[in-house]
Amino acid sequence: MVRPRYEMPGNLRPASLQERRRFYARRMDYDAAAAWMSRPAGGRVFALILGRHSGIYPRRFRHLKNVPLIIDDAVEVRDLRPYLLRYLPEGVYYDRNVYAPLDETRKARIDYARAWRSRVFRGQELAFDLDPENVDCPIHGDIAAKMARHQGLSFCDWEFEEIRRQAAELFDELARRWSRLRIVFSGRGFHVHVFDADAFRLSRKERGGIAASLARRYAIDEWVTSGEMRLIRLPLSLHGMVSRIVIPVPRRRLESFSYDDPRAVPRF
C-alpha cells in the first residue's frame, strides 16, 4: 500500500537562526522558566541541541550540531541566555536529575549520563513523553512505517488529536497516585511531569516497571519514564523544528488545546 507523503500540519516549520536569535534575545519568558525549575531545589543541568533534526545551526559550530551540549554552570535559567544567543540551538533541554549544588557537582567530574549511583545524585523527576508520531495512524501507519519512509518526525492532525486524548487520560490515571502533576505542550506532543517527592525517589527498577506497564496502553517513550533518557524540553523555550513555544497547559484546557494556541505561537 502506498501511503500519502506528509510532513507537519498547519504552518509548523523549522525556525531560522535569525528567528531563534530574536526569540532568545527578546521573547523568552525566563522568569516563568525559572519558576518551573525552582522545584525541587538543587543543582540543575541543561543541554542544548544545535541542529540535529532541522539541519539548521551556526556554521562555526558544525562539529557540535548533533550532540547535546551540556551546561552545568547556569544557576538560574537566565544564566542560559548568553549560551542561547551564542549557539542558537534548535532545542533546549534540562536534565531531570537533581544534583548537589553545582560547584560540588562539577568538582565530582561525573559522567552525567551515568549519574544515578554517584554521590552528587539526589533524585530524578518522573516524566512521561507522548509524541504524535508514536500513535498508529489510519492514514500514515505506525512508527515503523513512518521511519521506513524517513518521516519519523512527521505527524498529522489525527495523530495530534489522538496523542492529546492520551495525554488527558494518562494525566487522570496518574492523578489517582500523585497530586503534583503538570502537562506541557512539547511543540509536537505532550509531556506529563510528576513533582511529588516520592516520585523523585523512585528506583530505576520501579521506573522501568511503571514505563513498561503504561507503554502497553499509551504511546509513551519508555526511555524517558524509565530514566534512561534524562533530558526533557525546558518549558518556555522554543521548539525549533516546529516554531512553537513549549508551554504548560492546565488539565481543564487540554481537550481544546491546539498547536496554534496564541501562547504557543512565537512572534519573531
Q: N- to C-terminal Cα distance for the chain? A: 41
Q: Between residues 92 and 163, which has the closer beta carbon with respect to Zn ion?
A: 163
CA distance 123 to 34: 19
CB of 246 to Zn ion, least distance (A): 22
Give residue number: closest CB to Zn ion.
Answer: 137
137 binds Zn ion per the rule CB under 5 A: yes
162 binds Zn ion per the rule CB under 5 A: no
Element (H, E) at 111: none
DSSP class of 11: T
User: 19-30 burial, b for 16+ CB within 10 Å, e for fewer?
Assistant: bbbbbbeeebbb
CB of 5 to Zn ion, least distance (A): 11
Q: Determine the interface stretch with Zn ion among 159-167, 208-216, 240-248, 258-266 (rule: CB under 5 A).
A: 159-167
Q: Select the residue interacting with Zn ion from 20, 44, 96, 140 (CB under 5 A).
A: 140
What percent helix, strand, coil does the chain show, rounded to 5? 35, 20, 45
- Give backbone dihedrals phi and psi of 26, rounded to 5 degrees, phi first: -125, -25
Q: Between residues 142 and 173, which has the closer beta carbon with respect to Zn ion?
A: 142
CB of 222 to Zn ion, least distance (A): 22
CB of 140 to Zn ion, least distance (A): 3
**Joined grid coordinates for residue 236:** 518556555
139 binds Zn ion per the rule CB under 5 A: yes
Q: Determine the interface stretch with Zn ion among 26-34, 57-65, 98-106, 153-161 (rule: CB under 5 A).
A: 153-161
Element (H, E) at 227: none
